[in-house]
Amino acid sequence: MAGSTKLAVRVRQMTPIEAAWLAGFIDGEGTIYNVRSVDPRYPGRARHSQRITVGNTNGAALLRCNDITGVGKIRFVKAGPLTKKPFWKWSISAWNDVRSILQQLLPYLVVKRELAERCLADAD
Spell out the domain ranges in the chain: 16-123
**Whole-angstrom distance, CA of residue 40 vs CA of residue 60:** 42
Q: Which of 16-20, 39-43, 61-65 has the lowest mean pLDDT?
A: 39-43
Q: pLDDT class for 27, splitting at 50, 70, 90?
A: very high
Question: Mean pLDDT across the chain, nearest whole number?
Answer: 88
Instruction: Give Cα 77 distance to the centre of its chain.
Output: 18
What superfamily would CATH give domain 16-123?
Answer: Homing endonucleases (3.10.28.10)
CB 64 within 8 A of CB 54: no
DSSP character at residue 78: -
- pLDDT for position 8: 56
